[in-house]
Structures are given as structure tokens and as C-alpha cells.
Homo-oligomer: A and B are copies of this chain.
Amino acid sequence: MRNLLLAGCIGAAAAFAMTAASASENLQKMSQNPKDWVMPAGNYANQRYSELKQINTGNVGKLQVAWTFSTGVLRGHEGGPLVIGNVMYVHGPFPNPVFALDLDHDGKILWKYEPRQDPNVIPVMCCDTVNRGLAYDNGKIFLHQADTTLVALDAKTGKVLWQVKDGDPKKGETGTSAPLVVKGKVLIGISGGEFGVHCRVTAYDENSGKMVWKAFSEGPDDQILIDPQKTTDLGKPVGKDSSLKTWKGDQWKIGGGCTWGWISYDPELDLVYYGSGNPSTWNPLQRPGDNKWSMTVFARNPDTGMAKWVYQMTPHDEWDYDGVNEMILADIDVGGKERKVLVHFDRNGFGYTLDRGTGELLVADKYDPKVNWATGIDLKTGKPKRVAKYSTEKGGENHNTKGICPAALGSKDEQPAAYSPQTHLFYVPTNHVCMDYEPFRVSYTAGQPYVGATLSMYPPEGDSNMGNFIAWDAAKGKIVWSDAEQFSVWSGALATAGGVVFYGTLEGYLKAVDAKTGKELYKFKTPSGIIGNVMTYEHKGKQYVAVLSGVGGWAGIGLAAGLTDPHAGLGAVGGYAALKNYTSLGGQLTVFALPGS
């Protein structure tokens, strides 16, 4: 009997392993069908690139709005829809409704799911009540709710298949990021860097919701799933207690390093990639040391969570330069050699190109020339060359350091960049914003803000534009072209085989530009400011481009939450005050296509 049971278990495990493997293969394969848009970033490489080319540089000027849809929710709409076959899945910010829309009938609602969530989660969401999107696999839609609940819904009916609570909003733990499904596991991060959350990425079995592994950003090796000998940092083993050694006392337990950015995956190397956020608190004097592994790129095995390599962009952060921004995977020529790289536009204003197999640092340069807190990155040590006058801790607590570029929301924040294999360029929505930063002493209380700094934000001296949309050569570390925008470009980019790149603006324009030159080819004023990510799909032989409007997010928090104190919203309210002259709250999907049937 025992043997039989055991055999049965092995059989089940083997069957599961196969299912898992095929699930991953299936998603990878599905992402290669340009008619669908099966994951928020379009593909595992996070390239936000589509092979569709019916809309091209010659005809994009004739683009029209094909149909529209209101989510019924106001405040910031980050993320974007998925399309699988004839169905589009649209999500919204808190209370996180999910809609399945029938593409055969102008977006008729096939089903709607709206979780019941305690509204007390709203005050612990630092930067608006955003949600960055859904994941799909094997007939299931996965929603990561504001209250950290991960829900699996039947993609056909919207019925709840299982749900699991990932964190506790009472401690300031919230869910804002999109899940990524890899090999039958749903990976999610967590938000709460302004509440002293001890952050991690967790993998759940897609069929049962059971936890498979959990990897913290800071703490003992067995909690951060780092092997002191095998896990490397710029090619060298990290050694024992690589995180603990860089924190004073137990500060790491409330050390942030949150994980609310995008996750990417290389099926060939079998590694997932993501970044960790700021160390808590924002007052650097309260946490001496490098604060590892906050501000770090992690390359982890998706089955076990074990880290293959790590790289910390901003040791001992003094500016809230979270490392959460997405890792875009591409194969490009660097110095005459085809390299499998990972490209990352960090909040700190540097664009990094690393070998994604080894973590070797190949290129690191400013993608906004006004970045001034560091003069460059030492490619050997990986460390930034800091400029003393922009240190926020040198002057001690309650000293206001002025003119630091970029501001805390970085030269880029969560708004994802795109990569075109046609042009070999990266298209990056950026913030062109500087700040004054004054750290102050703060004590930790679970669920209370644990920020410890007062900020003001404004455009760089001499500039009136608060954003640029740029094309970046990641092999050379150079800006190829740059389009100035009045406000930060807080929308995710889309690159297409039609030679057109799309992005949205905080005033509400969807813009299409020439991928080679940046020349504006089309713009349209959508109902509200755009912080959503542009996507494209094909339905009945026609290419569509879609984007969520709904001003908000960190840059738009003043409008979204009705704040007027210029220092509120972690310093963003004053900087973006003029936004109210251009747009108003909303929550709409706008779908574009060329004229004719």
C-alpha cells in the first residue's frame, strides 16, 4: 500500500512537472503569436514589442479610435489589458475590478469580477491605488489585489478558483504589481517600502495556490535564498551573510527592498529577473551600511527561487532610487560581440547593460544628462561615483540638500520601456525632475508611514520639460534621440514591427513616433492622463492599439488623491501641480485602429 501510494505520488509529481513545463512552454509560445497579448509586457523578455505591422510609419497618422470602455473606477490606471483570442481582460486600480470583454462585440462584458477589499488598504498605498495588470496561464486569470490577495479566476467565467493572502495591509504590505507565471508558478512581489515592510518575491502553484518558495530581499541567507558560494555578485561569490553584514542590528527586518516592479524570464537560461526597492527608512542616517540586497537586480531559478547572481545598483541609498524598474532581455551586439543582455533603466538615472547569464556589468551610463548625484558607474566595482554635495546624509538630519537630480521618482519609475529588435534600440519613458531632500528621524510603527524625509520636486534648472521620451543604445550607453514632454512620461512604451513606437502622456495624449527618428506621427487626446502601458493585438485581420487612461500614480497623486500640500505625495504634489490644467480623473480604455473594415 505504501509503495503504491508512493508510486502514485511520484506519478502525480511527474505529471505536475510536465504540466508545469508545458505551461511555461505554452505561455512562451503564446507570447510569440502577435495577435494575442498574453502577458502585461507582451513577452517574457519584457520587450513590449509586437511583430504586427499593419499600422506603420506611413499610415499611423490616420489612426482612429475604434472603441472605448470605462472601468468605472477613478484614480491612477497603470498597466494594460491582455488579449487572448477573442477576449480582452481589463483590470483597474482599487477595488481592482477585472473585466472580460468580447472583442467580437465592441467590448461587451462577458464577465466582471470585483473582489471585496477592506478600504483601509488605501491609506497604506504610498503612490496611488494602482494595479499594474493581470497574468494569464492555462485558462486562468491571476489578479494581485491591493490587499495582497492573489486570486486565480476561471478565464471563461470569472469564477474564483483559489485565492491566497500574500501579505498584511495592517503592516503596510500592499499589492500593486502584475504577477508573472513561469513554469506553472505565479510569481508576485510586494509593495510597502515607505512602511518598513520586509519585502520578498513569492511563487505560488498556479493550480492550487500553494506557496512554492519565498525569497526576501534582506536577511539571513536561507531567507534571501542566496547560496554564499554559488550566488555571485559581478562574478564573485557573495559569501556568507552577504545581506546581514550590511545592516545595523535588526534594521533589515523593516528594511524594505520591495519588489513591486516587473519580473522577466529567460526560458533558455531558466532564470527570472527583477529588482528590489529602497531600503527603509528614507533617512539614510538611520541605516548605516550598504543595505544589501535592497536596490538590487536578482537573477533567480524559477523552480527554487535560489539566486544565481545579484547586482546592487545603489548601495546605501540616500535618495529613494528604488531598483525595481524592469529588466528587459535582449540579444545585442556589445563591443563587437553578440551578448545575451539584460537592460535596466534604474531610478538612479543610469541605464545598465549586464550579461544576464553571469551578471557581468557591461555598460552603465546616464540616460538623462542632468543626472548629478554620481558622475558615473565604475564598471569593475559596479559602484556609483558619488558627488559629495548631493549626499543627503552628509549634512545630517534635518539638513535640506538641494538640486539633486533625479528626484526620488527617478529618471524613470515603473513606467516600462520597450525594445525593438528591428532598430536594436530601447524606448524609454523618462522623468526629467530634480529635488530637494531633507532626512529626518522616524520611528517604526507597523502600518504607519516610515518615510523619514521631506521632499520637493521640480524640473532641472533651465528646463521647462519634466519628461523626455528617449531612444537608447544599450550597447553604447547613448541617447539616440529624445522627445521633450511637458510632464514626466509615466506611461509604458510599445515598439512595433511597423517602425512605430507608442507612448502616453500625463496630459492624456497617446502619441506615435517614428522608431528611428522620434518624429511625432500621431497624437490623440484620451479622456484622462495616461499612466497605462500601450499594447497591441490583432482581431479579425485588423491591428489594434490600446491604452488605459486614468491620471494618477506617484506623479499624478495630487490629482488622484486630491492633495494640495506641495510636499505631500512624497514630494510629487508640488512638482506636478500644473497637471490639473490639462486633465481630470478617469478610468478608460481607448482602442485605436486604421479606418476601414
What is the 8 Å Cβ interface bit string for chain A, positions 575-597, against chain B (1 contact, 0 not)?
00000111111111110000100
Interface-located stretch among A62-70, A337-345, A393-401 = A62-70
A557 to B107, CA, bound (A): 22
Q: A109-B583, A587-B586 are in contact. Are A526 and B595 (CB under 8 A)?
A: no
Does A527 have its Cβ within 8 Å of any Cβ on chain B? yes
- With a CB–CB cut-off of 8 A, which chain B residues contact A589? 527
Does A524 have its Cβ within 8 Å of any Cβ on chain B? yes
Does A331 have its Cβ within 8 Å of any Cβ on chain B? no
Contact A108 B581, beta carbon cutoff 8 Å: yes
A71 to B584, CA, bound (A): 6
- With a CB–CB cut-off of 8 A, which chain B residues contact A424? none
Least Cβ–Cβ distance between A578 and chain B, in angstroms = 10
Q: A62-B595, A65-B64, A70-B583 are in contact. Are A525 and B107 (CB under 8 A)?
A: yes
Least Cβ–Cβ distance between A542 and chain B, in angstroms = 15
Q: A62-B595, A586-B588, A587-B586 are in contact. Are A527 and B109 (CB under 8 A)?
A: no
- With a CB–CB cut-off of 8 A, which chain B residues contact A587? 70, 586
What is the 8 Å Cβ interface bit string for chain A, positions 63-91, against chain B (1 contact, 0 not)?
01101111110100000000000000000
Q: Which of B69, B109, B581, B595 contacts A580 (CB 8 A)?
A: B109
* Interface secondary structure of A, over-half rule: mixed
Contact A69 B109, beta carbon cutoff 8 Å: no
Contact A67 B109, beta carbon cutoff 8 Å: no
Least Cβ–Cβ distance between A45 and chain B, in angstroms = 32
- Residue ID in chain B nearest A581 by CB atoms: B109
Q: A62-B595, A584-B99 are in contact. Are A590 and B71 (CB under 8 A)?
A: no
Q: A64-B65, A65-B64, A595-B62 are in contact. Are A582 and B108 (CB under 8 A)?
A: yes
Query: Which residues of A509-527 are within 8 A (CB) of B?
Result: 509, 524-527
Does A378 have its Cβ within 8 Å of any Cβ on chain B? no
Q: Which of B524, B582, B595 contacts A67 (CB 8 A)?
A: B524
Does A171 have its Cβ within 8 Å of any Cβ on chain B? no
Least Cβ–Cβ distance between A130 and chain B, in angstroms = 17
Q: Which of B580, B583, B585, B588 contacts A527 (CB 8 A)?
A: B588
- Residue ID in chain B nearest A526 by CB atoms: B68
Does A420 have its Cβ within 8 Å of any Cβ on chain B? no
Contact A65 B65, beta carbon cutoff 8 Å: yes
Please list the residues of chain A having a beta carbon within 8 angstroms of any beta carbon in chain B.
62, 64-65, 67-72, 74, 97, 99, 106-109, 112, 508-509, 524-528, 549, 580-590, 595
The 4 closest A-B CB pairs, nearest first, are A70-B586, A72-B585, A70-B527, A72-B584
Q: Mind listing 20 A-B residue pairs with CB under 8 Å?
A: A62-B595, A64-B64, A64-B595, A68-B68, A68-B508, A68-B590, A69-B584, A70-B528, A70-B549, A70-B584, A70-B585, A71-B584, A72-B74, A72-B584, A74-B74, A106-B525, A108-B581, A109-B584, A586-B586, A586-B587
